[in-house]
Amino acid sequence: MDIAALKEALAADGFQDIDVLEWEADRFNETHSHPYTARAYVLSGTLTVDCGAEVTTCGEGDEFTLRPNVPHTERAGPEGVKFVFGIKP
C-alpha cells in the first residue's frame, strides 16, 4: 500500500491525527502509555514495542495496534523506522 492508501484506511477505521513519522536509529522511548488506541503501519526499518508480557517487532509492511493505557516502551531498529501513525480516542 502507498502512504495515501494507508492514511485513508486509518481514517476509514476512525483514526485521527494521522501522520508519517520517522525515527532515527535505535531511538528508545521509556515506559509510557497513551489514553487512546494507536495504530502504525511500518514503511521501512523496524519498530519494537515492549508491553512487558508481549514484545512485538514490526518490519516493512507490518501493522501494529496498541490498546489504550497499556504501559510500553518503543525502540526503532538499527536502521531507524518510518511509519504511518494514527490515534483513535
> Residue 28 belongs to what domain range?
3-88
Report the SS3 class of residue 49.
strand
CATH number reported for the structural domain that contains residue 52 in this entry: 2.60.120.10
Prediction pTM value: 0.93
Number of domains in the chain: 1
Phi/psi of residue 33, each to 5°? -145, 165
Query: 35: closest CA among 69, 65, 3, 64?
Result: 69
State pLDDT tens for residues 13-44.
999 999 999 999 999 999 999 999 999 999 99
State pLDDT tens for residues 39-81.
999 999 999 999 999 999 999 999 999 999 999 999 999 999 9
Tell me, what's the pLDDT at 32? 98
Q: Where are the beta strands (DSSP E) in the chain?
A: 16-23, 28-32, 37-50, 55-58, 63-66, 72-88
